[in-house]
A and B are shown apart, each in its own frame.
Chain A
Amino acid sequence: MSKLEIRNLKVNAGDERILNGVNLQINPGEIHALMGPNGTGKSTLSETIMGNPLYEIVDGQIWLDGQDITEMSVDERARTAVFLAMQYPMEVAGISNADFIHAALNARNQGQPVAVLPFLKQLKANMEFLEINPEYADRGLNADFSGGEKKRNEILQMMMLRPEMAILDEIDSGLDIDALKIVAKGINAMRSTTFSCLMVTHYQRLLNYVVPDVVHIMMDGRIVKSGGPELATDLEKTGYAELEETLGSETSHGNSLE
């Protein structure tokens, strides 16, 4: 069970400020959606939670179950609870998909080997559930996978590793409607009181299949509005420009955006 709290998070990429004070709380069992225009800092937030060294936290904290994780290395965060489904998963042909997932499970198991037969059984079941060709277990990690196959493979890894906190960075990008439904099925299968999730997306359509508890809108490196699933539906009709205009007007009247 993981509760994520982000307080006044300010992040630089090189010399450029990307996040300008993000505040966010995700309670155990909740699924949140994070939306916003291109270049507004959504992926930066995702990568910063995971600990990508390309991003420098200049202020603020990230707390997971009351523990400040900002000083933890990437792998420590992963072993603690965090999983990031990446926008562009890497290809590593020299290790098979199955061996890689098994190695990751071993690492999360205090380095003790996870029994192979139950692992393979679970892997097979999850691959069937996600309609992944069984031969892909023995292929190199993401090697020569299509974009959609890589996204499904990210969900497979999530289902095998069973993190308490998952961040899905544009998991729906590049998916056709059938693949989107399968990915959504995987996310919904994870739903429980011990699993919380932040889904970064540009489009409402993912949220038709994975209904979030909370939707956040990010602009200029801050979360400027939060609400229920209807916020995404409204945004689909009006677009970001109108929201920006409204928020600008509110700002000029002295209202806080957060």
Chain B
Amino acid sequence: MAIPLNKTTTASYPRILGIRYDPAAFTLPDSSSAAWDWEANAEALQAINAAGGTVRRINGATAELSGLPQLLASTDNQFVQQHLQNPVQGMVISLPDRAEITPALNLTLRTESTLPVEWTVWFDLGDHSRLTTKLTLDLAGEVPQSNCLIGGTLADESNLTLITDTQSHQATQSLLLGDFVSARDANLDWSLWPQTKGQLLGDLNVTLAGTGSRATLNLARYGYQDDWVGIRGKIKHLGQHTFSRINMRGVLYENSRVNFTSIGQIDHGASDADADQESRLMTVEPHAKGSVNPVLVIDENDVRAGHAASVGQYDEDEIYYLQSRGLPMATAKQILIDNFMEPIWRLRNGEVG
């Protein structure tokens, strides 16, 4: 059952800086019984099985998943609590120690339901293991609400490259939660393209717990008619010599609203941490609005940290230059939009390649 909303529980919903939203809009009314399927490429599945790993569907089992009970016990995010108190449905990808999987895993979860959907996709990577995953969450039906949690634990010196696309065929209320914990010298490269239509609230967290662990969070979003998007990306540095980058870019059309908050948090003791973030929005049309809120929370002296942020239109001089070669305005604009998003796509495509 959904946790009832009252003043106490509302206060513990994630306080997303600079983003105003209605928690009720993202609270699923009840546990979901929506039908869904998954598929993955055989080549990667075989490689994972051969290495002693698994890719399996789960339904209701949380205690056995590395890191999930700890997350439930530690989080003050009411959405996460609610998500994990319902029977967990989704996929678990686990690799034993020293499993290096060469073919990328292309994993798709799809539903054509008209009911709310709750998915958990959980990664459990052993020491020195390595995996690239392209994860697609496809709300193909008339799904009114979705609540998706993507996360996991990365053991010492493991490496996860994760590309996540979410999409819906109609306007929906989507909650996208992320929670990864990285151990010593583990590396997470996470590129997201959340393109579900309608309302989207994202709360993506990475904890760099081990010495020398690293994480990069890249996110791209296009906002169209009536889209409302509020996404927070947060990387917390606990270990020494940790490294993080947050890159968010969005292009806003029509009357869309897109708000990004990026947080680099360096706790006391995380000496020699390196945190940097860049968030930029391009408003293509006059009624589109957006905000970017870069935040650094630093409780350690010996660190490097920086941020850059901007909200603006395309450069008129660049439009003029492109038009001066004969390109129509629409083509010139599209080139500049692609140019604006190129840093994110380059990172994303580089990861796939």
Contact = CB atoms under 8 A, between A and B. Distances in A.
B326 A94 contact: no
B318 A84 contact: no
Nearest to B317: A90
Size bracket, chain B contacts? 20 to 34
Interface stretch (B91-99, B181-189, B328-336): B328-336
Nearest to B337: A94
Given A52-B320, A53-B320, A92 B336 contact: yes
Contacts of A157: 325
Given A90-B317, A90-B321, A103-B331, A95 B339 contact: yes
A108 interface: yes
Interface in A95-119: 95, 100-101, 103-104, 107-108
Contact of A92 (B318, B323, B326, B328): B318
A104 B336 CA distance: 15
B317 A107 contact: no
Contacts of A103: 327, 331, 335
A94 B331 contact: no
Contact of A100 (B323, B325, B328, B340): B325
B325 A78 contact: yes
A84 B326 contact: no
Nearest to B342: A94
Given A92-B339, A93-B342, A107-B328, A74 B323 contact: yes
B280 to A, nearest CB: 13
Nearest to A80: B326
A75 interface: yes
Given A75-B326, A75-B328, A161-B326, A95 B335 contact: yes
B325 A86 contact: no
B320 A74 contact: yes
B320 A94 contact: no
A89 interface: yes
B324 A50 contact: yes
Contacts of A74: 320, 323-324
A126 to B, nearest CB: 15
A75 B75 CA distance: 56
Interface in A38-93: 50, 52-53, 73-75, 78-79, 83-84, 86, 89-90, 92-93
Contacts of B324: 50, 74-75, 78, 83-84, 86
B312 to A, nearest CB: 16
Contacts of B325: 78, 83, 100-101, 104, 107, 157, 161
A89 B329 CA distance: 18
A47 to B, nearest CB: 9
A95 B326 contact: no
Contact of A104 (B317, B326, B329, B339): B326
A107 B327 contact: yes
Contacts of A101: 325
B320 A92 contact: no
Contact of B335 (A52, A75, A94, A108): A94
B204 to A, nearest CB: 25
A81 B245 CA distance: 47
A75 B330 CA distance: 11
Interface in B290-326: 315-318, 320-326
A174 B332 CA distance: 28
Contacts of B336: 92, 94
Contact of A94 (B321, B329, B340): B340
Contacts of A89: 321
A103 B322 CA distance: 10
Contacts of A52: 320
Nearest to B327: A107
B296 to A, nearest CB: 27
Nearest to A94: B339
A118 to B, nearest CB: 19
B43 interface: no
A74 B338 CA distance: 21
Nearest to A92: B339
A82 to B, nearest CB: 8
A75 B342 contact: no
Interface in A117-160: 157
A223 to B, nearest CB: 23
Contacts of B326: 75, 78-79, 104, 107-108, 161
Contacts of B328: 75, 107
28 contacts: A53-B316, A73-B329, A74-B320, A74-B323, A75-B323, A75-B324, A75-B328, A75-B329, A75-B332, A78-B323, A78-B324, A78-B326, A79-B326, A83-B324, A89-B321, A90-B322, A92-B318, A92-B321, A93-B342, A94-B335, A94-B341, A95-B338, A100-B325, A100-B335, A104-B325, A107-B326, A107-B327, A107-B328
Interface of A: 50, 52-53, 73-75, 78-79, 83-84, 86, 89-90, 92-95, 100-101, 103-104, 107-108, 157, 161
Interface of B: 315-318, 320-329, 331-332, 335-336, 338-342
Given A74-B324, A95-B335, A107-B331, 10 more contacts: A74-B320, A86-B321, A90-B315, A90-B317, A90-B318, A93-B342, A94-B335, A94-B336, A94-B339, A100-B322
